[in-house]
Structure 1
Amino acid sequence: MALSSPMVLSLLLFASLTALLVLAPRLSPPPPQQPAADEQAPPATGSGVGGGGGGGGGLRGVGSRAGGEEADDLRLFRRAALESAAAAAGAKAAGPPKVAFLFLTNSDLTFAPLWERFFSGHESRLSVYVHADPAARLLLPPTPSFRGRFVAAKPTRRADASLIAAARRLLAAALLDDPANAYFALLSQHCVPLHSFPRLYAALFPPPPSPSAASAAPRRQRPRSYIEVLTGEPQMPSRYAARGGEDAMLPEVPYERFRIGSQFFTLARRHAVLVVWERRLWRKFRVPCLPEMAQDSCYPEEHYFPTLLDMADPGGVARYTLTRVNWTGSVEGHPHTYTAAEVTPGLVAELRASNHTHPHMFARKFAPDCLAPLLAIADTVLFKD
């Protein structure tokens, strides 16, 4: 009788609600955990750019489908090419042209603080994109330029066509993300800048000539891509045969059209569109190498891009890269890795030196312990032009 009184029932109801509120966090499934302030969880696969995107680029292996022609990649590439063509036919992008920095990584972005200093004050003229291996858990320094810039990605492995596919995803994401992106610099987590951003920007986008000089000068050429294109190298026959035998690349790529170059390049927008649209050569390069030659002669990422661009637009490429690599004393196909003790103003001057129109703007490969000495000379050497 007493339990049925309105006051008692109200008290019981109030007590039940209070207990529910207190115990709910313990009884309910926990909410999705966000990465810590200095940690970036490996993002899921997909086709967008954002804080939850991310995935592969480096040495980790999956099956031969890693570089395969999956439907989601095809949709991404087709959309990037078509929307870029539509944008080119319409109005020009508002604001100044931008340089898109494409980081291909399978480990921490150790040099993010150095890049942050390089980017500082020039954010309106650049974009950043990261393709990180989904199997890697990245502990990122709290630098704003890299936050939310992870593209949807897939696993990759060294000396495999999956590295080509990863670079194409970065290019496609950058093309779709901002029509102002006019140059696309592919870099690794081991790359560092050798000059200030204004020096790089002036090299890629030289000021137009004065009216009097323009009338006397020949017609200005379209922007060139800075990609290494070599032929006649001693390793070429074995590299070509490793693709599946001496006839495996025919008829699309005869031996005399096969090229070699650095994996890291800086492409003009029209060439970035070409890369994401192309499928004919990709069908050849995505085929795994012969197993007996895979360890020593299989580096498709060093052949696909220079071969494609040399066949499609030989006059539109500079035939050299802006990224310096030291192959002296290379071990198992890896270039020399600089350590902290080697970081000096003299090394920077040596790495900048070039026999081409532009000096080297970037360099690799640097060990993580180089960050502190590089930051120490950033303002007085690296970014002092």
Structure 2
Amino acid sequence: MRVPCLNLEQDRERTMIFSSPFVISFLLLVSVPVLFVLAPRILPPKTLPSIPDRDEMDDLALFRRTTLASSGAGGSGGIRRRTAAPPKIAFMFLTNSDLSFAPLWERFFRGHERLFNVYVHADPSSRLRLVPTPSFSGRFIPAKATQRASPTLISAARRLLAAALLDDPANAFFALLSQHCVPLHSFRFTYDAVLADSGAPPAAHGDAVLRHRYRSFIEILAGEPGLWDRYIARGDNAMLPEVSFDQFRVGSQFFILARRHATMVVRDRRLWKKFKMPCLKSREDSCYPEEHYFPTLLEMQDPEGCSHYTLTRVNWTDSVGGHPHAYRPLEISSDLIKELRRSNSTYSYLFARKFSPDCLDPLVELADSVIFRD
């Protein structure tokens, strides 16, 4: 009976030793540096919210339908257009608040109903209090939640492109705009400028749909300050091997794409699997995926078919928190409109942002005498 008693006493001694404050403190001190070394390898990096799987599946189904419809029309331009229908511009509004400038856009569109279509992607969480005007009524597409520093803004733009491609074979250009954008010229001036001789290389074959290769108006820049920080926003090597740093581009979120490029964006899977990855929380200030995906994709696939500049004017001189200057009513004047039109590119700017909602009345006052008088 002495052996069991002896073992019991030894167990008690071990328990007392390992439960003593000294030993516990020692083990804690040793474990801290071990955890510091191993934690980054064991725990996943802290990232910003990613796109929900359900949203991604819905989008893929939409994009497949669009791709199949485009493929059935001969491939590289999109759905075959009826010869009697003139080419149209699809005006695509990406918004998370009221379309405050809809009355101004109505005056812009008036009399040109055969030459345009309107599409609106409104964040489901936004509460639109204003009654849509005729051109916007019934033009809302199925939408998903969007947020800054997130690939959801890319997804929303791709949704708009897919909806416009499927909706009307006559849509030849696709202009992405925000609720804060306003026109700087008349509709006829805008339409003629976009459809003017593009300078893009002609199609290699004689398909009537593709004979005239329109150019896309999208800003594509390389070597900009802070570009490296943006490139590694998802992780140091996250973009490889699909996108090397020398292929990574930046540009304005707002663009006008020709139909073949809109189809190209909707078909893409290769680059999207990289750009849909969420950014690291620690690099949130460098996360602007919507300013990189489109210029990078088009620069890699058809650089000669792009203007490399945008036709939407933005004032970044006193930006705050990544937001551009927002014009207020007292700033609205004929001189401002004329200044906003000025550009170093082939065409003057056609649109401008960002305007506060209370700018509507002074802008409407200038509509006929200045804005729509080219």
Q: TM-score, normalised by structure 2?
A: 0.80
For residues 141 and 348 of structure 2, what CA distance do their matches in structure 1 show? 30
8 Å Cα contact 1:67-1:160 kept in structure 2: no
CA change 1:291–1:274 in 2 (3 A) is: same
Unaligned 5+ runs, structure 2:
1-47, 199-210
Deviations 1:27-81 (A, max 9, x none): xxxxxxxxxxxxxxxxxxxxxxxxxxxxxxxxxxx94125986222111011112
- Residue 85 of structure 1 deviates from its aligned partner by 2.8
What is the aligned-residue identity percentage? 64
Aligned to 1:348: 337
Deviations 1:146-196 (A, max 9, x none): 000000010010121000000000000000000000000000000000000
The match for 1:260 among 250, 267, 283 is: 250
The match for 2:114 among 114, 119, 124 is: 124
For residues 54 and 283 of structure 2, what CA distance do their matches in structure 1 show? 20
For residues 321 and 290 of structure 1, what CA distance do their matches in structure 2 show? 29
Give SS of 2:173's match: strand
Aligned to 2:216: 225
The match for 2:135 among 145, 164, 169 is: 145
- Residue 88 of structure 1 deviates from its aligned partner by 4.7
The match for 1:322 among 311, 330, 344 is: 311
For residues 206 and 88 of structure 1, what CA distance do their matches in structure 2 show? 24
For residues 87 and 151 of structure 1, what CA distance do their matches in structure 2 show? 24
The within-5 A match list for 1:185-196 is 185-196=175-186
Aligned: 1:236 with 2:222: no
Deviations 1:113-138 (A, max 9, x none): 00000000001100000000101121
Aligned to 1:81: 67
For residues 184 and 276 of structure 1, what CA distance do their matches in structure 2 show? 13
The match for 1:102 among 92, 109, 124 is: 92
For residues 132 and 298 of structure 2, what CA distance do their matches in structure 1 show? 37
8 Å Cα contact 1:185-1:267 kept in structure 2: yes
* Matching residue's letter, 2:310: T
8 Å Cα contact 1:66-1:156 kept in structure 2: no
For residues 104 and 142 of structure 1, what CA distance do their matches in structure 2 show? 15
Aligned: 1:168 with 2:144: no
8 Å Cα contact 1:68-1:286 kept in structure 2: no
The within-5 A match list for 1:23-102 is 63-66=49-52, 70-88=56-74, 92-93=81-82, 94-102=84-92
CA change 1:194–1:66 in 2 (3 A) is: farther
Q: Supply the RMSD in Å over aligned alpha carbons.
A: 1.7
For residues 235 and 80 of structure 2, what CA distance do their matches in structure 1 show? 46
* Matching residue's letter, 2:163: A
For residues 56 and 301 of structure 2, what CA distance do their matches in structure 1 show? 24
- Residue 92 of structure 1 deviates from its aligned partner by 2.9
* Matching residue's letter, 2:71: A
8 Å Cα contact 2:80-2:169 kept in structure 1: no
8 Å Cα contact 1:84-1:273 kept in structure 2: yes
Q: Which has the larger radius of gyration?
A: 2
CA change 1:304–1:68 in 2 (3 A) is: farther
For residues 207 and 237 of structure 1, what CA distance do their matches in structure 2 show? 36
- Residue 207 of structure 1 deviates from its aligned partner by 7.5
Aligned to 2:291: 302
For residues 225 and 207 of structure 1, what CA distance do their matches in structure 2 show? 12
For residues 269 and 91 of structure 1, what CA distance do their matches in structure 2 show? 11
For residues 225 and 51 of structure 2, what CA distance do their matches in structure 1 show? 30
Aligned to 2:300: 311
- Residue 143 of structure 1 deviates from its aligned partner by 1.2
* Matching residue's letter, 1:371: L
For residues 195 and 158 of structure 1, what CA distance do their matches in structure 2 show? 30
For residues 88 and 134 of structure 1, what CA distance do their matches in structure 2 show? 36
For residues 247 and 296 of structure 2, what CA distance do their matches in structure 1 show? 7
For residues 135 and 260 of structure 2, what CA distance do their matches in structure 1 show? 25
